[in-house]
Amino acid sequence: MSGLTADTGRAPDTALTEIGAGVREQVTAISGDLLAMSHAIHERPELRFEEHHASELLQRFLAGEGFDVRSGLAGMPTAFRAERTFGADGPGGAGGGPVIAVFCEFDALPGIGHACGHNIIATAGAGAAASAARWLAGAGPDGDGRPAGGTLVVLGSPGEEGGGGKVRLIEAGELAGIDAAIMVHPAGFDSVARTNLGRMSLRATFSGRASHAAAAPELGRNALDAATLLLVAIGLLRQQVRGDSRIHAKVAEGGDSINVIPERSVVELFIRSPDSEYLRGRLLDAVRDCVAGSALATGTTWELEEPAPAYDPVLPNHVLAELAAAAFAEVGRDVDPSAVSGNAGSTDMGNVSQAVPSLHPYLQVVPGLAIHTREFAEAARGEAGDRAVVDGAGLLGIMTGALLTRPALVAAAAAEFDQREGS
């Protein structure tokens, strides 16, 4: 692995190796606690904004590691912020250096539990913060003779699976003053980044008229028929949608009784694209036309709502990607810092990446295994998932240690962010 050169403001290999050794030692010391916490979260899967057990475990762990913890952020009871400052006068000092945030996600999927591996994300993030803090507390001067200084923040962001918890944190001002934000996501591969898609959450509601399905069907206006037509229309629309964009839909409500013409139906949809303008323009307009046409054909009325915040595409940061590649090597995984994997799903980390320099790398659990499957849920609790927790804590901990002891790295990431944002 080639070094990160000093003339670009990035840490040389020797310094990163020193950080890596120190952080990995601390990860090993707390690995038992991390794995126990990962298993406990996995065994009690909680849906978005209901993650009380997971949130309490993480907060208790971080408080025990010397972090000041504040919960109930942005009107979300399970959201939290854990913070610890390092300065010239030691831990808890004035700081004054970079402010680095590590995100933890901990909600599960309906029906299949932690098939997205958020138990891994949560404990790897908390473990990274704890191990980096332990190392920083005893790290002494950095390579230039200056003591480590800055603030380490852990943001517990609930509701990633459709709720947009990070968007609410941004709107509440929790990212104000953050210089860089990182997290890690389990997957079937290792990668410093991926082309995540922007996403809008939509809900189409059709209203008709109830009537006896056998005695007087002609008096009814069938809202379920409108939902059926919408699914057909979307299926045909997909032929004319850009190849990098996606539409998914399900019927959430379709009537209560077989012998009553359904007077109400609800279709929930996700529309996705890496191009925000296309997502909110042509794609949204086309879906709205499908909804209106389905209502017109069935004599029903329609309403189209956006029940959750939209997710932005992830804006990658190459400075942070190179740092991540070096940190991957420190935990025994080799990745290409210039390689960005193909299209993925969507994440509210995309909104974070549009606000501050960010990185959302992927960590292999089982080679080739897809997330959002029962097999991945099982792996997230097994030996491979445990290895991802430990490696993820090391990966993010090393990145955090480097960013807090090398302000030039943070400045380089910020300069790239400003350039890409303005382009």
Amino acid 423: pLDDT:
58
Q: Say whether both 81 and 192 belong to one domain.
A: yes
Domain boundary among 240, 275, 305: 305
Answer whether residue 1 is part of any domain: no
Are 78 and 135 part of one and the same domain? yes
Q: Does the residue 326 lie in any domain? A: yes
If asked whether residues 219 and 288 sit together in one domain, one would say yes
Q: What secondary structure letter does DSSP report for 10?
A: -
Instruction: Confirm whether 158 is domain-assigned.
Output: yes
What confidence score (pLDDT) does residue 344 get? 73
For residue 45, give the nearest of 123, 112, 120, 103 by alpha carbon.
112
Are 286 and 255 members of one domain? yes
What is the identity of the amino acid at 8? T
Q: Are 227 and 254 in contact (CB under 8 A)?
A: yes
| Pairing outcome for strands 180-182 and 358-359 | parallel
**Is residue 90 included in any domain, yes or no?**
yes
Q: How confident is the model at residue 5 (pLDDT cuts 50, 70, 90)?
A: very low
Residue type, 265: S
Q: Which residues lie closer than 8 Å to 274 by C-beta, 6 or more apart? A: 195, 196, 197, 198, 244, 245, 313, 343
Same domain, 86 and 176: yes
**Would you say residue 91 has pLDDT above 50?**
no
Where b means 16+ CB within 10 Å and e means fewer, 124-135 reads bbbbbbbbbbbb
| Distance between CA atoms of residues 152 and 49, nearest Å | 24
Q: Are 355 and 421 in contact (CB under 8 A)?
A: no
Secondary structure, 3-state, 294-332: HHHHHCCEEEEECCCCCECCCCCCHHHHHHHHHHHHHCC
Segment holding 335, helix H or strand E: none
In the chain, % of residues over pLDDT 90: 85
Q: 223-280 pLDDT, tens per residue?
A: 999 999 999 999 999 999 999 999 999 999 999 999 999 999 999 999 999 999 999 9
196: pLDDT strictly greater than 80: yes
Q: Is the pLDDT of residue 190 over 70?
A: yes
User: What pLDDT does residue 366 have?
Assistant: 97
* 90 & 177 share domain: yes
Provide the residue range defining the domain that includes 157: 6-196+314-422
Predicted confidence at residue 4, as pLDDT, reads 42
User: Do 148 and 39 belong to one domain?
Assistant: yes
Residue 93 pLDDT > 70, yes or no?
Answer: no
Q: What percent of the chain has pLDDT over 70?
A: 90
Residues 219 and 260 in one domain: yes
Q: Which CATH number fits the domain that encloses residue 181? A: 3.40.630.10
Which of 291, 292, 206, 303 shows the shortest CA–CA distance to 255? 206
User: Which pLDDT score is estimated for 343?
Assistant: 65
Residue 329 placed within a domain? yes
Last residue of a domain, one of 271, 305, 339: 305
More confident residue, 36 or 140: 36
- Quote the distance between the C-alpha of residue 245 and its chain's center: 19
378 part of a folded domain: yes
What CATH number has the domain bearing residue 267? 3.30.70.360
Q: Is there a single domain that holds both residue 208 and residue 153?
A: no
- The answer to whether residues 192 and 211 belong to one domain is no
The total of structural domains in the chain comes to: 2
